């Protein structure tokens, strides 16, 4: 990651459903040239697994290709490099704080960024129907709007200036 890029780390359990959907929805909303990098990890993830088929399907419905995703366990390096960490549940947040108490100021629930934040958890859709995954995707996407506004107000989202041809 370049020094001028800030990063957000999305955290769930296995890093195959919720956090990859959040990572790719964030990237989709900001575009490729954004000054922010999105990553995801799981508190008990098995390394190098693809996102679930259902996660792929519901992201594909929005024109988002998550085929490059491979799961990764939460690591000190990922936590340290993150500017902001968004957990899917209070349990994930508690695990992060237990393992990395020094980063408490940058760990929040994904649903905690709006002015009317209700701190609702994003439930795990694993093993559920595509309809449940779609609901989870939409819940994450709704929270994304507040998250992006929060980031814009706190750090800005500026991309490097484009060079215009004459």
Q: Could you list the active site residues?
A: 12, 18, 124
Cβ contact 11:19 at 8 Å: yes
Torsion of CA 1, 29, 162, 4, to 10 degrees: -20
Please name the residues in contact with 19: beta carbons below 8 A apart, sequence gap of 6 or more.
10, 11, 12, 40, 41, 42, 88
CB-based contacts of 132, cutoff 8 Å, min separation 6: 125
């Amino acid at each position: 990651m370049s020094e001028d890029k800030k990063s957000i780390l999305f955290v769930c359990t296995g890093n195959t459903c919720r956090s990859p959907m959040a990572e790719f929805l964030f990237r989709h909303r900001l575009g490729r040239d954004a000054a922010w990098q999105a990553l995801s990890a799981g508190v008990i993830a098995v390394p190098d697994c693809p996102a679930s088929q259902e996660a792929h399907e519901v992201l594909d419905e929005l024109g988002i290709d998550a085929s490059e995703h491979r799961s990764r366990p939460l690591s000190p390096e990922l936590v340290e490099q993150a500017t902001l960490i968004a957990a899917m549940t209070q349990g994930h947040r508690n695990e992060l704080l237990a393992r990395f108490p020094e980063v408490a100021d940058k760990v929040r629930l994904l649903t905690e960024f709006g002015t009317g934040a209700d701190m609702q958890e994003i439930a795990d859709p694993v093993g559920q129907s595509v309809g449940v995954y779609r609901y989870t995707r939409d819940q994450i996407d709704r929270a994304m709007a507040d998250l992006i506004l929060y980031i814009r107000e706190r750090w800005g989202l500026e991309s490097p200036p484009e060079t215009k041809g004459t």
